[in-house]
Amino acid sequence: MSQVVDARGLSCPQPVLLTKQAVDNGEFPIEVLVETVTSRENVRRVAENWGCKVQVEEMGEEFKLTLFR
């Protein structure tokens, strides 16, 4: 079962900080839900820097990023 980080409605850096907590928890995969392109790109970039593989899915006007180790 995947961990879900619902960062919709939050502005940066909050989505990144919540994602970092989930990564530190170590339960993968992690699904991160965001609303803006800026949040999507910030979470994607830092997750890749942390060594995660990131899959991005557009869901209407929102995005789901799935992080894998």
- Count of structural domains within the chain: 1
pLDDT band at 2, cuts 50/70/90? Answer: confident
Residue that the structure tokens 């869901």 belong to:
59
Residue 12 has pLDDT above 80, yes or no: yes
Range of the domain at 28: 3-68
Under 8 Å CB-to-CB from 46, ≥6 apart: which residues? 16, 19, 20
Assessment of whether the complete model's pTM goes beyond 0.85: yes
Q: What is the CATH number of the domain that holds 20?
A: 3.30.110.40
d(CA 59, CA 63): 5
26 exposure class (CB count in 10 Å sphere: 0-12, 13-18, 19+):
exposed
Quote the pLDDT of residue 69.
Answer: 92
Summarize pLDDT for 16-56 with one digit per residue, the tens. Answer: 999 999 999 999 999 999 999 999 999 999 999 999 999 99
